[in-house]
Structure 1
Amino acid sequence: MTAATGKPSFWTKTAYGFGSVAYGAKDAGLKYFLLLFYAQVIGLDARLVSLAIFIALIFDAISDPIVGYWSDNFRSKWGRRHPFMYAAAIPVAVSYYFIWNPPEGWSDQALFWYIVILAITIRTFITIYETPSTALAPELTSDYDERSSILSFRYFFGWTGGNAMSVIAFVLIFPAFATAAIANGQFNRDAYSFYGMVGSLVMFAAIMISALGTHHYIPRLRQAPPKRDLTLKKIFKDIYLTVASPSFFALFAASLIAFSASGLAAGLVFYFTTYFWGFSPEQIGAITIGVFFSAFIGGALAPFVTKKLGKKRGALIVGLIAFVGMPLPIFLRLIDVLPENGTPEIFWLVLITNTIDTALIVCYQILAASMMADLVEQGEVKTGRRSEGLFFAAATFMRKFGEGFGIVIAGLVLSIAGVAAGSTQGELSEDTLWRLGAIYVPVILGLFLTVITIISFYKIDRNKHEQALRELATRKTN
């Protein structure tokens, strides 16, 4: 059975896309809040939090290709992908809840290993869900433009779901947990306990809705290839032969660095809004609400850019604008050309620039994911096997490892800048805040400009994609 060439229905796209809410909710917590929660609320050294995350990333490097290869070759009455999706739902939700509910009175060393074990568990089971789930995209359609449309749904729901969790935190949860002793609920550990419960329920619901919503498509999806006698050596040889191409390695390296930069930005975003800009939880909530508009704009922009510019050229242009614009307000503050904190102008400047820049980053990520989908046929031409799971395991790995490694970098930036654990809003000196910005701007800009350089080596365009489809069609008729 071949991948569909037409357009999946709106409801199929919606069910497929909605599954990314689980990943988005996980991302919102682990990227934006985890470092701040354990370092500033629990009081654990930021370097230990970063090290715990880094150890979990090492396990990611092993689990991602294994899950991708396994799901490509899995046989069941529910096809190759859906058994993994169903199996991950409960473990993901349970482990996510407990990472926000650390035991009280434990030593720093015990808390360190607590984070390590739960981070590994969360990341492993999100891989078991996300890789097979995302890998449905190339099976739903082989059309060059339609893939960007399908993945727009995926990234729209991912960004919207994750952002909804942040908005809920700042608009509802943190204000509700403000007390006489803790005026800003953002520094109340009980708030994060409730946040973890809400997030775990959202993740479970998103996984089940997506799995059930695409279940009817199983008979139309590709079946696993014939069984072969495989050794571990042959499996890893298969993996290498499938992905080994200049375009894959360019996209892989560029995306890994891009997600590292994204993780760095996410790990520090609430440090900047809370300490650097001095915004209240309500103002931070309003800025976060702006990301809903970003998801709409970026999701609508990606298919348009694909048709008008092509994926690679569009990614280069959109990415360059977005990447240069991200640290611009902080740079302008460092050179002292902006109004003082506390003025309406500062709030609106950050709100508007963040909304526009995030929209462009959403668009770039969709284009990059669609570029990865187009590598599936290139791999099939070379090996004779469909390996959607393997390619999207690489995509899942790039995203999780890159963003996790970015948080590791964020912990180092905080340490170098001298941001003390347990500091609340208003307790950091002007010198510390200036160092934070001065270290952050060149680091993130350097990472993003490296991305633009590397992705220029990706070679698959519309013509090469259609040529691969024609060659595969010819093979099937012979």
Structure 2
Amino acid sequence: MSRPAPGPEVRSASTTRLGFGRSVGYGVGDFGLNLFFTTAGLFLLFYYTDVLGLSPSTAGWVFAGALIWDAVFDPLMGYLANRTRSRWGRYRPYLLFGAIPLAAAWALMFLPTGLTGPALILFAAGTHILFRTFYAIVGMPYLALSAVLTQDSKERGVIAAVRMIAGASCGLLSALLTLTLVKAFGGGQVGFFGMALVYGALAAAVLMLVFASTREQISETVEQKVSLGDMVRMLRGNYAFWVVSAAMLLSAVGSTFFQKTVPYFFKYQLHREDLIGPALGLLAGCVMLSIPLWTWLMKRTSKRIMWITGAGISTLGFGLLWFAPAEPLAVLSVLPLLGVGAGAGYLGFWSMMPDTVEYGEWRSGVRAEGAIFGLVSLLQKGGLGLAAAGLGELLTVIGYQPNLAQTPETLSAMRVVMIASPAVLSLAAAATIAFYGIDHRQHGRMVRALDRRRSKFSNGHDR
């Protein structure tokens, strides 16, 4: 029996070229999602402690509880998205229908209520959990979408670079504009609520653009129905996934300790609260500017070498920051090194993770983007949540008191949390990623082998 000519939905993604428009159309989604994720990461703990007046320990656990819930929900969301079938594909519908509810849940977190005591804690926790639920509903399918746009490892590197530039641009905007917007809307809870409405509307528009400008290229010649057991079997033998995830987890905890402590450091150690935004903006700007450099190095060498090089630069930056005098100019002069080093880790992680989808399929015969990205989100967000809770507890242990002058002992301990801990974790991440063995050539061989396997399987079904 002759086989019908394959349509777009059964074309091998390894032969599909995205083009500039679709690469940018997908990558810009990181700008929209980071209006939520980065802004929350930079300012939400600070908002809980210094605006709502929650204790550091309580604020940390509110933040952690919501992120851990998000982490637990992500694999389920990945499983559901992986099994979704619609005329728009598996993952794109969640961007279309989830963007506006996500923006509304984000704004609700900052709604001025006049609540105090336990009622305020319950409101903060409930709205944060609601926001993280919708973030998983939209963010999880967005991440998995990257694995069905193309199977070309170098194109994925380009997509990851576009994403990192978009995300870093958002980080720059968030760092420089957030507190300015808060002030423009009147400051305090009212000001944060106005900022949240603006960011939510912008993010929803960006996510709609991603939906409109991307198309899913299903890589299987014969569509698979993947069971939960198949996913577990694929993950169990996917060493590349576990290496990348471990390195990511170490880096994420370190970045949480550093970035979330920066506002407190500038407010209480340097007495320059006005420089919080510029400092965070400098970090984000250097991440963004470093991405073309890291993309070039990644193409010339490998993703692994790029990540290790960036970790070395970060460690050097932390060392210089440790010995720098407690003066704004000295501190600001070191931050570019930390931003440049961080860029390599971000690009390495998000360009390596889609490749582990093919590695898992090559080893087990099971392709499940949703399982890969669901589990990595669980690990990432669970780690970030526990790191935030740990930071809240550490701030309490070292004697931090919101909106009061801190003791010399508290300030000294804050430097250990912000500088020494991330330096050690950055080195540990570099040592871990040294075990990642997939390069461009090996990935290309895997993709060609998978295409032959799928073609053979399809021919068997057509007879």
Match of 1:298 in 2: 290
Cα displacement (A) at 1:420: 0.6
* Distance (Å, rounded) in 1 between the aligned partners of 2:122 and 2:220: 41
* Distance (Å, rounded) in 1 between the aligned partners of 2:145 and 2:115: 45
Cα displacement (A) at 1:324: 4.3
Q: Are residues 1:469 and 2:447 paired?
A: yes
| Aligned residue identity for 1:374 | D
Match of 1:332 in 2: 323
Give matches, 1:304-323, under 5 Å. 304-323=296-315
Q: Are residues 1:112 and 2:90 paired?
A: no
Structure 1 unmatched runs, 5+: 179-184
Aligned partner (choices 392, 403, 411) of residue 433 of structure 1: 411
Q: Are residues 1:84 and 2:86 paired?
A: no
Q: Are residues 1:156 and 2:165 paired?
A: yes
Residues 257, 421 of structure 2: 8 Å contact kept:
no
Q: Are residues 1:285 and 2:277 paired?
A: yes
* Distance (Å, rounded) in 1 between the aligned partners of 2:284 and 2:411: 29
Cα displacement (A) at 1:189: 2.8
Q: Are residues 1:142 and 2:134 paired?
A: no
| Aligned residue identity for 2:449 | E
Aligned partner (choices 434, 455, 464) of residue 433 of structure 2: 455
Cα displacement (A) at 1:43: 1.1
SS of residue matched to 1:76: coil
Residues 291, 358 of structure 1: 8 Å contact kept:
yes
Match of 1:99 in 2: 109
The alignment yields a C-alpha RMSD, in angstroms, of 2.4
Match of 1:358 in 2: 339
Q: Are residues 1:203 and 2:195 paired?
A: no
* Distance (Å, rounded) in 2 between the aligned partners of 1:475 and 1:224: 9
Change (3 A) 1:56 1:292: closer
Match of 1:419 in 2: 400
Match of 1:191 in 2: 191
Residues 80, 223 of structure 1: 8 Å contact kept:
no
Match of 1:246 in 2: 239
* Distance (Å, rounded) in 2 between the aligned partners of 1:6 and 1:60: 33
Query: Which whole-Å deviations, capped at 9, do the CAs of 1:95-128 have from their partners, x for residues lacking one?
Result: 1101112521332x22222222222222222122
Aligned partner (choices 371, 382, 403) of residue 352 of structure 2: 371
Match of 2:373 in 1: 392
Query: Which whole-Å deviations, capped at 9, do the CAs of 1:60-95 have from their partners, x for residues lacking one?
Result: 232111111222221111111111112221221111
| Aligned residue identity for 1:300 | P
Change (3 A) 1:358 1:7: farther
Cα displacement (A) at 1:264: 1.8
* Distance (Å, rounded) in 2 between the aligned partners of 1:74 and 1:212: 18
Cα displacement (A) at 1:295: 3.8
Residues 14, 447 of structure 2: 8 Å contact kept:
no
* Distance (Å, rounded) in 2 between the aligned partners of 1:52 and 1:295: 29
Using the size of structure 1 for normalisation, the TM-score is 0.86
* Distance (Å, rounded) in 1 between the aligned partners of 2:284 and 2:409: 34
Cα displacement (A) at 1:149: 0.9
* Distance (Å, rounded) in 2 between the aligned partners of 1:396 and 1:248: 12
Q: Are residues 1:72 and 2:65 paired?
A: no
* Distance (Å, rounded) in 1 between the aligned partners of 2:123 and 2:116: 10
* Distance (Å, rounded) in 2 between the aligned partners of 1:61 and 1:291: 26
Q: Are residues 1:167 and 2:148 paired?
A: no
Query: Which whole-Å deviations, capped at 9, do the CAs of 1:197-236 have from their partners, x for residues lacking one?
Result: 222222212211211222xx24x445797575x8xxx51x
Residues 285, 339 of structure 2: 8 Å contact kept:
no
Using the size of structure 2 for normalisation, the TM-score is 0.89
| Aligned residue identity for 1:396 | S
Percent identical residues? 25
Match of 2:7 in 1: none
Residues 290, 340 of structure 2: 8 Å contact kept:
yes
SS of residue matched to 2:147: helix
Cα displacement (A) at 1:151: 0.8
Change (3 A) 1:397 1:114: same
Change (3 A) 1:190 1:456: same
Aligned partner (choices 247, 251, 255) of residue 258 of structure 1: 251
SS of residue matched to 1:405: helix
Residues 84, 90 of structure 2: 8 Å contact kept:
yes
Segment of structure 1 superposing worse, 461-470 or 87-96: 461-470
* Distance (Å, rounded) in 1 between the aligned partners of 2:362 and 2:417: 46
Cα displacement (A) at 1:255: 0.9
Change (3 A) 1:124 1:298: farther
| Aligned residue identity for 1:60 | D
Change (3 A) 1:31 1:72: same
Structure 2 unmatched runs, 5+: 1-9, 457-463
Residues 92, 141 of structure 2: 8 Å contact kept:
yes
Aligned partner (choices 27, 41, 58) of residue 48 of structure 1: 58
Cα displacement (A) at 1:162: 3.1
Query: Which whole-Å deviations, capped at 9, do the CAs of 1:156-182 have from their partners, x for residues lacking one?
Result: 112211331221123x3255367xxxx
Cα displacement (A) at 1:7: 3.8
Aligned partner (choices 135, 143, 167) of residue 126 of structure 1: 135
SS of residue matched to 1:80: coil
Residues 82, 369 of structure 2: 8 Å contact kept:
yes
Match of 1:182 in 2: none
Cα displacement (A) at 1:366: 0.9
| Aligned residue identity for 1:472 | L
Change (3 A) 1:32 1:367: same
Query: Which whole-Å deviations, capped at 9, do the CAs of 1:240-285 have from their partners, x for residues lacking one?
Result: 212222222121122122112112222212111222222242x333
* Distance (Å, rounded) in 1 between the aligned partners of 2:337 and 2:447: 36
The alignment of Structure 1 onto Structure 2 pairs a total of residues equal to 445
Query: Which whole-Å deviations, capped at 9, do the CAs of 1:323-360 have from their partners, x for residues lacking one?
Result: 4424641x114xxxx2x63xxxx32x333422332132
Residues 152, 366 of structure 1: 8 Å contact kept:
yes
